[in-house]
Amino acid sequence: MASAILTFRVSPFSGIDPKLKPRFRAERLASGDDNLSVYSVNGGAGSVMEEKEKKGSFLNGGNGSLKPRIEQKMVKKRVCEELEVLWDDGYGTKTVKDYLIAAEEMIKPDGGPPRWFCPVECGQPINDSPLLLFLPGLDGVGMGLILHHKALGKVFKVQCLHIPVQDRTPFEGLVKLVEEAIRLEHTSRPNTPIYLVGDSFGGCLALAVAARNPTIDLVLILANPATSFGRSQLQPLFPILEAFPDGLHVTIPYLLSLVMGEPVKMATVGIEGRLSPLQKIEQLSGNLTALLPLLSGMANIIPKETLVWKLKLLKTASAYTNSRLHAVKAEVLVLASDKDNMLPSQDEAQRLMNSLSNCKVRRFKDNGHTLLLEDSLNLLTIIKGTCKYRHSKKHDFIADFVPPSMSEFKYAFDEVAGYIRFASGSAMFSTMEDGKIVQGLAGVPNEGPVLLVGYHMLMGLELSCLIEAFLREKKIMVRGIAHPELFWGKLQSSSNEFAFSDWVKVMGALPVTANYLFKALSTKSHVLLYPGGAREALHYKGEEYKLFWPEQPEFVRMAARFGATIVPFGTVGEDDIAELVLDYNDWMKIPVINERIKESIRDGIRIRDETDGEVGNQQLFIPGMLPKIPGRFYYLFGKPIKLKGREDLTKNREDANDLYLQVKSEVEQCIDYLLKKREEDPYRSIIDRTIYGALYSSVDQIPAFKP
């Protein structure tokens, strides 16, 4: 049965002449594969824009449309109001095989110049989405984001640059084309950022455009940018390629594949993380077998003459961009692969971070040059975790929050927090309104605003399991109020890898400020608050399960203002996982280490311009711990305390303080209850839970004591 191959006909959109109006048409072609969706760009006739359209953007109607429009005012909605929790982002459904098939269709000669197109998979974005322009690497096809189309298309208006195989537009011509696009969009929406995702050569292009337009709000995402071309392994290719016999040009793609990417990482895309090792090996073998024959198509995507031209273009681009780095004022995120055999990307990332005024770096230690086509992380996840997604001048943790998708949920709690989930075997209990304790989270209200107030275990070990349980059982995103060090301090920059501090942002963490607590409750969210903060999470020896709450009952008054429901809860189990052997007092007795801790505390205070008081005075350090044979984590959510109609608490400090002490007392009662009842749990030991799970159920369904 024939399938539909979508062929986009887009006019030659010239960046030099803004009077050209792009046109869009879709056609259906026959194919023998029912599951095939291929994208091709062909030249079409342009028409002169009407005078009234000149002030509008050429990107309208969401992804897949290129017609001009006049900006319309609309009521701004939060992203989380338009995207449900655990939405389908499509990551893993497309692989590099799909890229090669699509590229074969798109390279058919049409005589047209470079132009913009949007893959149909991007679909319709949410309201008020910022524009994202993808600037391709050496291939020029423009399909380098194929693994990420569906996810990015939900929250961006995605447009990709296609440079035909036979096109010989010089670098400055390409710069002007991209420049014209961003200027048109900026005219239409001057207060909205514009995203440039540059892959390799596209990274040079993005930086060059940013240097020439310092007053436009640009966010640059650069994947192994080719600004390091002068120090790359490609330099010796010039004389070799020019002397290469034409009859052997088909071997070029195989040589390039060894240099450009990691075939195993390409073939790993889409393999489910929860599969057994044997199943993973079987799928990987099948993917590699299917992938390797398709590499011959690279001879058509980058033939010898085109490759020679592209390498010369790359040399020009690198020199042009490096001479203008000082003028780049844009927000920059560099994604660098440790195993890039084509460019010295790790060294270049460090150089760019030192050279640019506003630059972050994230490393990917197992990936090659073609990072965006390999198995790593969804590009949208990286953008979210580094706080780069925004609709206005400044990132807002409430308005710009994109709920976690199903693929992020699986990766975060299988790969990132998989060990702690397996080792802790968390058992959740909650209290119904009639006071009955039940297993599960049925006693926690589904409708917000809800303020979960509890005890912070050592190093916050309970966090990941709590967030996962609410997502899995109730599909509720709990917004945790977290220490500012995770957002603005050394912790978030101590390692350039995409790590824990990035994942807490993906999973909804908020800086511990009154402003964000106010916003979260006003949007009827479920908010997680630890009044004891870092003092509880970094307690000293003999202080486990003791509360260190501040004297001020401010969270009670804030909750009363919005008629929120307070749910006190307790957690136990840190003493079943690890033993605290070195606390703050022990570290301060060691001469060299105590100076580093003091310096870290001083640096931390300097970056906390939005916090003060007890949070600002908390002393941060990493305790020394010895792991134990794991026991189990237990959570008990107490009876909900409804504050609807209790606005009087906002003014009556005495009553507010009484309620504050009641909440604190109930947290302590929850802890005492769990410490006693866990002795009755037949599956407290990891050995017993593992045997039960192998015979009967998954780790999330293992029973505990009877409440």
The answer to the question of residue 585 being in a domain is no
pLDDT at 327 over 80: yes
Residue 480: its pLDDT value, please?
A: 95
More confident residue, 257 or 283: 283
Tokens 């990072």 belong to 371
Q: Which pLDDT band, with edges at 50, 70 and 90, does 366 fall under? A: confident
pLDDT at res. 186: 97
Q: Are residues 333 and 423 in the same domain?
A: no
| Percent of the chain at pLDDT exceeding 90 | 57
Residue 415: how many CA atoms within 13 Å on its side-chain side?
15
- Residue written as token pair 């009639």: 434
What is the share, in percent, of the chain residues with pLDDT greater than 70?
75
Residues 221 and 308 both lie in one domain: yes
Average pLDDT, the chain: 81
DSSP E strands, 517-662: 526-529, 565-572, 578-582, 624-627, 634-637, 641-642
pTM of the model: 0.83
pLDDT at 95: 84
Same domain, yes or no, for 340 and 444?
no
pLDDT, position 31? 34
Mean pLDDT of 334-359: 92
Residue 551, pLDDT above cutoff 60: yes
Query: In this predicted model, what pLDDT tens digit does every residue of 171-227 receive, in sequence order?
Result: 999 999 999 999 999 999 999 999 999 999 999 999 999 999 999 999 999 999 999
| 262 and 173 assigned to the same domain | yes
Q: Are residues 473 and 550 in the same domain?
A: yes
Is the per-residue pLDDT at 17 higher than 70? no
pLDDT value of residue 302: 73
Q: Is 653 exposed, middle or buried (0-12, 13-18, 19+ CB in 10 A)?
A: middle
DSSP 292-311: GGGGGGHHHHS-HHHHHHHH
* Nearest residue to 425 (alpha-carbon basis) of 171, 633, 204, 263: 633
DSSP SS3 for 481: strand
Residues 326 and 434 in one domain: no
Quick one: pLDDT at residue 698? 79
The verdict on residue 601 lying in a domain is no
* pLDDT greater than 90 at residue 6: no
The answer to whether residue 355 scores a pLDDT higher than 50 is yes
Indicate whether 123 belongs to any domain.
yes
In whole angstroms, what is the distance from residue 388 CA to residue 394 CA?
Answer: 9
Who has greater pLDDT, 596 or 88?
88
Could you tell me if 324 and 439 lie in one domain? no
Q: Is 169 exposed, middle or buried (0-12, 13-18, 19+ CB in 10 A)?
A: middle
Q: Answer whether residue 707 is part of any domain.
A: no
Give the end of a domain, one of 352, 384, 416.
Answer: 384
Is 658 part of a structural domain of the chain? yes
At 282, the pLDDT band (50, 70, 90 cuts) reads low
Q: Domain with 663 in it: what CATH number?
A: 3.40.1130
Q: Encoding tokens for residue 610?
A: 């939005």
What residue numbers bound the domain in which 336 lies? Answer: 94-384
Q: What angle do CA 492, 606, 335 make, to 5 degrees?
A: 25
422 and 283 in a common domain = no
In three state form, how does the secondary structure of 347-377 look?
HHHHHHHHHCCCEEEEEECCCCCCHHHCCCC
Which one-letter DSSP state was computed for residue 51?
G
Q: What is the pLDDT of residues 406-427, one digit of tens each?
A: 999 999 998 889 889 999 999 9
For residues 236 and 138, the model is more confident at 138
Q: Residue 541 gets which letter from DSSP?
A: T
What is the pLDDT at residue 645?
A: 92
Answer yes or no: is 360 within a domain: yes
pLDDT score of 294: 55
Residue 581 has pLDDT above 70, yes or no: yes
pLDDT, residue 615, reads: 45
pLDDT class of 231 with cuts at 50, 70, 90: confident
Q: What CATH number corresponds to the domain at position 102? A: 3.40.50.1820
The answer to the question of residue 379 being in a domain is: yes
Tally of domains within the chain: 2
Average pLDDT over residues 555-579: 95
Domain boundary among 353, 384, 415: 384
Contact 507, 412 (CB under 8 A): yes
* Distance (Å) of CA 119 to CA 46, 132, 155, 201, 386: 20, 13, 15, 21, 26
Alpha helices in 413-499 (DSSP H): 418-424, 463-474, 485-488
The pLDDT value given to residue 297: 54
Checking if the pLDDT of 676 tops 60, the result is yes
DSSP secondary structure string, 190-221? TTS-EEEEEETHHHHHHHHHHHH-TTS-EEEE
Residue 524 confidence (pLDDT): 95
C-alpha–C-alpha distance, residues 116 and 174, integer Å: 12
Residue located via tokens 């600037």 = 135
pLDDT for 420-470, tens place per residue? 999 999 999 999 999 999 999 999 999 999 999 999 999 999 999 999 999
**Residues 445, 558: one domain?**
yes
Two tokens, residue 87: 């939405």
- Write down the pLDDT at residue 706: 94
User: Is pLDDT at 50 greater than 70 in this prediction?
Assistant: no
Q: Which two tokens stand for residue 631?
A: 């026991």
pLDDT at 270: 59
pLDDT at 168 over 90: yes
Query: What pLDDT is stored for residue 491 in this prediction?
Result: 56
Backbone φ and ψ for 49, nearest 5 degrees, come out as: -70, 145
The residue among 354, 384, 414 that closes a domain is 384
Is residue 476 domain-shared with residue 359, that is, in the same domain?
Answer: no
Radius of gyration of the chain (CA): 28
Q: Is 703 contained in some domain?
A: no
Q: How many whole angstroms separate alpha carbon 673 and alpha carbon 693?
A: 26
pLDDT above 50 for 605: no
pLDDT for res 359: 95
Q: What mean pLDDT comes out for the span 152-161?
A: 97
Looking at residue 583, its pLDDT comes to 86
In this structure, the answer to whether residues 123 and 249 fall within a common structural domain is yes
Q: Are residues 281 and 165 in the same domain?
A: yes
Ramachandran class of 425: left when φ > 0, alpha when ψ lies in -120 to 50, beta otherwise: left
Residue 632 — pLDDT band, cuts 50, 70, 90? Answer: very high
Q: What is the pLDDT of residues 51-74, one digit of tens each?
A: 333 333 333 344 543 333 333 333
pLDDT in tens, 369-387: 889 988 878 999 999 999 9
CB-count burial class (<10 Å; 0-12, 13-18, 19+) for 589: exposed
Secondary structure letter of residue 69 according to DSSP: B
